[in-house]
Amino acid sequence: MIRQIEKKEIRKTIHERIRRKLRGSAARPRLAVFRSVAHIYAQVIDDAGGKTLVSASSVDEGGRGASSKSGGNVAAAKAIGKLVAERAKEKGITKVVFDRGGYQYHGRVKALADAARAAGLEF
């Protein structure tokens, strides 16, 4: 019998392949993105120290864009990208490595990345 591979498993495989090549350090931490159907999450992670330095999500009180009632749209992703960049700059982080988390660089993931770049993060 041929085994059906779920989308979730495919994404995890892609993410593992990406993570073999990407490492976040104290000088240049990793900006990791996770998206669900209803929300989007972003974390700035120092892989060498194993610590999350900054995080933002559409679940947070300050995370939702004023115009968006949902966390699962492009407007909310832009708000989260801007918010994570502002929080990172407060901590003195300006350069990061972008980890798309196995998702296509399209839609909400691209909107988050573009908003983070516009707010001052370099990657």
CATH number, domain at 107? 3.30.420.100
Print the domain residue range for 55.
7-118
Identify which of 104, 114, 105 has the alpha carbon closest to the alpha carbon of residue 78: 114
Identify which of 14, 79, 13, 12 has the alpha carbon closest to the alpha carbon of residue 40: 79
Among 71-75, 91-95, 96-100, 107-111, the range scoring the smallest mean pLDDT is 71-75
Q: Considering the domain boundaries, does residue 2 fall inside one?
A: no
26 contacts 48 by C-beta, under 8 angstroms: yes
**58: Cα within 13 Å, side-chain hemisphere:** 27
What Rg value do the Cα atoms of the chain yield, rounded? 15
Q: Considering the domain boundaries, does residue 123 fall inside one?
A: no
Q: How many domains does the chain have?
A: 1
Q: Considering the domain boundaries, does residue 1 fall inside one?
A: no
pLDDT digits (tens, 9 = 90+) for 35-90: 999 999 999 999 999 999 999 999 987 665 545 568 889 999 999 999 999 999 99
Q: Is 40 exposed, middle or buried (0-12, 13-18, 19+ CB in 10 A)?
A: buried
The residue ranking higher by pLDDT, 63 or 106, is 106
pLDDT of residue 65: 53
% of the chain with per-residue pLDDT over 70: 92
The residue ranking higher by pLDDT, 63 or 118, is 118
Mean pLDDT of 23-38: 94
